[in-house]
Copies of this chain bind each other. A is one copy, B any other.
Amino acid sequence: MDKKLVEQITSRSEDFAQWYTDIVRKAELADYSSVRGCMIIRPYGYAIWERIQKYIDAKIKGTGHENVYMPIFIPEHLLEKEKEHVEGFAPEVAWVTEGGNEKLTEKLCVRPTSETLFCEHFAKIIHSYKDLPKLYNQWCSVIRWEKTTRPFLRTAEFLWQEGHTIHATREEAEKETRYILDLYSELCKDVLAMPVIQGKKTESEKFAGAVDTYTIESLMHDGKALQAGTSHYLGENFARAFGIQYSDKEGKQQYVHYTTWAVTTRLIGAIIMIHGDDDGMVMPPRIAPIQVIIVPIAQHKSGVLEKANELKDILSKSVRVKIDDSDKTPGWKFSEYEMKGVPVRLEVGPRDIEKNQVVLVRRDTGEKTVVPMDNLENQVNSLLDKIHDSMYKKAKDFRDNNTHDAFNMEQFKDIEENKSGFVRAMWCGDAKCEEKIREITGATSRCMPLKQEHISDTCVCCGKKADKLVYWGRAY
């Protein structure tokens, strides 16, 4: 055991960035390696990713999506086929220039994203309208050569799923894009207890090569925004660049409509920054690798370990439960599992056994309840649900309390300087205003929410007529 574990971590108010790094290290979610910008995802962190994978994989397979695996490398000429796309990605790719002791004749980039590979393949396998749609997904790692990195939030390598689907019509492709946005939102709400704003990116913030980029945006505890997932409608741009055509029912050649969408290991960073507190991680119950930790009290006394194991067996039917019967003190164990954010601690000692009861302690609120041992499985399960709901509500209240409306630049500046969080303001649609807002306040447009409200008639920046409500914020 790392002895530093129960030492205090930096508090959020003292240094939020350091607090974040402390949790990542001390809750054993990730570690650094000697590889620049790349992280090691440790068992406890990887188990979270596996649960995210399982949720998404089951949902998309249930709606006809299939997993495939594309090469890790993209030859330079292939990356360059779609103009906007290569402009967006070229500055941040890693290049393989030597292989098997020889210099390569064409350099290969390690995939930053796989549109070009999917499109080359689609062009080969699509002939007729009968071949459509193709609903593909890939689980893999990608490389973005970032200058400054932080575990989970921004790393040179990260894990993700990338969906790539092609359709006969624009309508069908747009429906897919929105279906996935809803799926991501449900993942966040129902599994990660994380409220999100669904919206559309402005022209300047959208994905390199997309017609429309949809996003889910969430608010971290330091008041900064985080893009938690994106779903793009790419129109016919890639189809034209790669020649992905099909013959329709009338035998006419048509270009396919393309969508791509992704969520990444970044979500683990979001979970930390939304739910964590000064004692460490607070895991949303449905994603928690351990949901209940049983800590036997006075475990050397006759019958305690037996009873603790008996309770474990009962709970393990429906709950991810672990027992810590090591020789550490109960107090040490309490701190350790608080750091790891285990949602419920179950304490059981000789006096509890006598009274046929156990003590349940919530990680999120610290609340203790003494409950009878009978019907324990149901009680624990409903407590886990209750914790989920209450964590979601707390995060949503925080976000709502930190979302401010601005009607002119004075107000906007005042919010950025004296408060934090999302700013809601009307925008005329001009990229110059977006740019000016960024210069003056440091905030960028996060999204145009799908649920639009008309809070004023004029652009917060230029004062001209405006009909778009935009969420703004400083972002990760």
- Interface secondary structure of A, over-half rule: mixed
Whether the Cβ atoms of B93 and A34 lie closer than 8 Å is no
Whether the Cβ atoms of B72 and A43 lie closer than 8 Å is no
Q: How large is the interface on A (under 10, 10 to 19, 20 to 34, 35 or more residues)?
A: 35 or more
- CB of A99 within 8 A of chain B? yes
Whether the Cβ atoms of A136 and B74 lie closer than 8 Å is no
A1 to nearest B CB, angstroms? 7
Whether the Cβ atoms of B93 and A99 lie closer than 8 Å is yes
A125 to B100, CA, bound (A): 33
**Smallest Cβ-Cβ distance to A65: which chain B residue:** B43
A99 to B110, CA, bound (A): 10
A154 to nearest B CB, angstroms? 13
- List the B side residues contacting A34 at CB < 8 Å: 75, 78, 120
A30 to nearest B CB, angstroms? 9
- List the B side residues contacting A132 at CB < 8 Å: none
**Smallest Cβ-Cβ distance to A39: which chain B residue:** B71
- CB of A386 within 8 A of chain B? no
- CB of A143 within 8 A of chain B? yes
Would you list which residues of chain A between 65 and 115 have a CB under 8 Å from chain B? 66-75, 78, 90-101, 107-108, 110
Whether the Cβ atoms of A136 and B43 lie closer than 8 Å is yes
Whether the Cβ atoms of B70 and A33 lie closer than 8 Å is yes
Find the residue from A99, A107, A120 having the highest chain B CB count within 10 A.
A99
- List the B side residues contacting A145 at CB < 8 Å: 99-100
Whether the Cβ atoms of A67 and B95 lie closer than 8 Å is no
- CB of A46 within 8 A of chain B? yes
Known pairs A95-B97, A97-B97; A33 contacts B120 (CB<8 A)? yes
**Smallest Cβ-Cβ distance to A73: which chain B residue:** B35
- List the B side residues contacting A192 at CB < 8 Å: none
- CB of A466 within 8 A of chain B? no
Query: How many of these chains are in the complex?
Result: 2
Whether the Cβ atoms of B92 and A100 lie closer than 8 Å is yes
**Smallest Cβ-Cβ distance to A94: which chain B residue:** B99
A101 to B141, CA, bound (A): 21
Q: Which of B1, B50, B69, B92 contacts A67 (CB 8 A)?
A: B50
Query: Could you mark each residue 106-137 of chain A with 1 if its beta carbon is under 8 Å from any beta carbon of chain B, else 0?
Result: 01101000000100110011011011000010
Known pairs A71-B33, A78-B34; A94 contacts B98 (CB<8 A)? yes
A93 to B107, CA, bound (A): 15
Whether the Cβ atoms of A157 and B121 lie closer than 8 Å is no
- CB of A42 within 8 A of chain B? yes
Whether the Cβ atoms of A130 and B1 lie closer than 8 Å is yes
- CB of A40 within 8 A of chain B? yes
A35 to B141, CA, bound (A): 17
Interface set of A (CB-CB < 8 Å, partner B): 1-2, 31, 33-35, 38-43, 46-47, 49-50, 66-75, 78, 90-101, 107-108, 110, 117, 120-121, 124-125, 127-128, 130-131, 136, 140-141, 143, 145-147, 156-157, 159
Query: Lowest 8 CB-CB distances: which A-B pairs, in order?
Result: A38-B71, A100-B145, A43-B66, A41-B69, A95-B98, A35-B71, A94-B99, A99-B145
Excluding A34-B78, A46-B69, 7 further A-B contacts by CB distance (< 8 Å) are A35-B117, A40-B71, A40-B117, A43-B136, A91-B101, A93-B100, A140-B141
20 A-B pairs whose Cβ atoms sit less than 8 Å apart in the complex: A1-B128, A2-B125, A2-B127, A33-B70, A34-B120, A35-B108, A40-B69, A43-B66, A46-B66, A47-B67, A50-B67, A72-B141, A72-B143, A94-B100, A95-B96, A95-B99, A96-B96, A97-B98, A98-B107, A99-B145
